[in-house]
Chains A and B, each alone.
Chain A
Amino acid sequence: MNTAIDSGYNFAYLDEQTKRMIRRALLKAVAIPGYQVPFGGREMPMPYGWGTGGMQLTASVLGADDTLKVIDQGADDTTNAVSIRAFFERVAGVETTTATAQASVIQTRHRIPEKTLRADQILIFQVPIPEPLRFIEPSEEETRVMHALEEYGVMHVKLYEDIAHHGHIATTYAYPVKVDGRYVMDPSPIPKFDNPKLHMSEALMLFGAGREKRLYAIPPHTRVESLDFEDHPFEIQAWDEPCAICGATDSYLDEVIIDDQGARMFVCSDTDYCNSRSEEKA
């Protein structure tokens, strides 16, 4: 299965010059952890906002001997994950898997797998808005200066206003982090539950924003701290009940409405984690 099935296109769709441009940018990204490197993002045959950034990064790192896993909301079988996985099967002919442990490259939207990632795995995030300061300062010119001068006070003011208003930091996903003590970074819209997995990860983490034409990285073994306050320390979500399917108490749970009366149950958002736990028990 090592040759592209659709011979009209290059291996993994992108032409070699585009891949090289992205690869050079990726090397800069890992050398400057958390800094958003501009890159000449290309149109992909899928809409902007649907993972074109992640796909361009995947296309640039993917090799014939890789095994690819694609998840959306933690699940391998959500429509967009299915669609992206089918795309790479078609244009790169690579092996795909739903098992986190068997994947060498994992493209994800909105989650980090529950199973701890290894040094020989690369996690590629789809990013809608890469700029963590964007909702405070809409101008790119301004936010670039703020990053250059390490002027991140406004971010704390924003989080603080939440506390004053709600008694809590009201950011629950895309929760900003500081990478290696320097850059404030948007971890993509993962729930803050996943933020601790960014810290000192064994696996390389790459982030691609296609429409905004930015990519960035967290190398393995890198300090990643979620922004917080001494009297309001960062904390992650917790549930009162375990997963209704596998009984996990350490995973991120999705709420599922099961009848017209609004009765609900909670199940793992990471489908591979849930399945493998259920199989172990069986």
Chain B
Amino acid sequence: MNMTQQTSEAVRPHDWPGLADPVHDSQRLFRQLLGAMSEPGTLTELVLPELPTGAAISPAAWGALLALCDLDTRVWVDQGLARANLAAALAFHTGARLTDDPAQADFALVTPDTLSREDGFALGSDAWPDRSTTLIVMVEALAQGDDWWLSGPGVPGERGLALGNAERALPLMRVLAANRAHFPRGLDAFISSEMRLTAIARSTRLAGPGLAATDDAEHQEETA
């Protein structure tokens, strides 16, 4: 992540890259996002042009926004990520509006640290669990690893992930691990670093350092 302080006002909305072929590029990006959400913990590389200097979000996150946002979507952005004129660029390229109210957000651009401060994102309701915020998360690194273990739908057996420093990723993983407790309400997350992206769905069971031992007794009993 490029956190260099720049006079972000100098960046014009059209300095952010759009999709060269909006129809087929967004289809390709969507299929990657669909694959990621269908098989949590798998890694995919979103190919996108470079973002303008000073941008604090990953190219992969920008690609997800270009593929999924339009006039009908509202996006909440962590202040630390709203650099290089991101809001204007998002409006220019997608028509999406920003919102200050996390409960109104269809998508939220966050870091793991954001989640230790902000807990107002929409989880949906038991009757309408789809009315929830999808997190698009920037992490310092993203690779297969053995810090965090995923299981559940989309995962044959278990799948291991490393998100850089485990301590710093913990607020994110706590929030996502809590999904099981209030399922079907919950937050789904696309997690990105540079071009790389993975997803953790609310149906995913999580284990790792600092997470309560999986008390998903129902699941264990049923799979036993």
- A and B directly contacting (CB within 8 A): yes
CA distance A145 to B127 in the complex (A): 6
User: What is the 8 Å Cβ interface bit string for chain B, positions 132-157, against chain A (1 contact, 0 not)?
Assistant: 10100000000000000000111110
| A residues in contact with B154, CB < 8 Å | 30, 219-222
Q: How far is the CA of A223 from the CA of B186 in the complex (A)?
A: 20
Whether A24 and B106, one on each chain, are in contact in the complex, defined by CB atoms closer than 8 angstroms, is yes
Interface string of B89-117 (1 = CB under 8 A from A): 00000000000000000100000000000
B74 within 8 A of A: no
| Residues of A with C-beta under 8 A to B38 | 30, 204, 217, 219-220
Q: Measured between alpha carbons, how far is A181 from B209 in the docked complex, in Å? A: 26
Chain A residue with minimal CB distance to B71? A17
Q: Per a CB cutoff under 8 Å, which of A19, A35, A147, A223 touches B130?
A: A35
Please determine whether A63 and B24 come into contact, CB atoms closer than 8 angstroms. yes
Q: Indicate if A11 sits at the interface (CB-CB under 8 A).
A: yes
CB pair A149 B126 closer than 8 Å? yes
How far in angstroms is the closest Cβ of chain A from B43? 15
Given contacts A64-B24, A219-B154, A221-B153, contact A26 B129 (CB under 8 A): no
Whether B203 is near chain A, meaning CB under 8 Å from some CB there, is: yes
List residues of chain A with CB within 8 A of the CB of B212: none
The CA of A63 and the CA of B153, in the complex, are separated in Å by: 25
Question: When chains A and B are docked, how far (Å) is the Cα of A38 from the Cα of B125?
Answer: 14
Contact A35 B223, CB 8 Å, known A26-B34, A28-B188? no
Q: Are A23 and B183 in contact (CB under 8 A)?
A: no
Q: Does A10 contact B (CB under 8 A)?
A: yes
C-alpha spacing A30/B36, complex, angstroms = 10
User: Which residues of B are found within 8 Å of A26, using beta-carbon distances?
Assistant: 34
Per the bound structure, the CA–CA distance linking A31 and B181 in Å amounts to 15
Instruction: From the candidates B30, B69, B127, name the one contacting A61 in the complex (CB within 8 A).
Output: B30
Contact with B along A180-219 (1 / 0, CB 8 A): 1111000000000000000010001000000000000111
A43 adjacent to chain B (CB < 8 Å)? no
A16 engages B34 (CB within 8 Å):
no
A sample of 5 inter-chain contacts (CB < 8 A) reads A27-B68, A30-B38, A33-B203, A35-B130, A182-B183
Residues of A within 8 A of B (CB): 10-11, 16-17, 19-21, 23-33, 35, 37-38, 60-64, 144-145, 147-149, 180-183, 200, 204, 217-223
Knowing that A10-B23, A11-B24 touch, tell me 19 more A-B residue pairs with CB under 8 angstroms.
A16-B23, A19-B27, A20-B26, A20-B68, A25-B130, A27-B33, A27-B68, A29-B130, A31-B186, A32-B129, A35-B184, A62-B27, A147-B127, A149-B126, A204-B35, A219-B203, A220-B38, A221-B39, A223-B153
Q: Which 6 A-B pairs have the closest CB atoms?
A: A148-B126, A31-B201, A219-B154, A222-B153, A28-B130, A31-B188
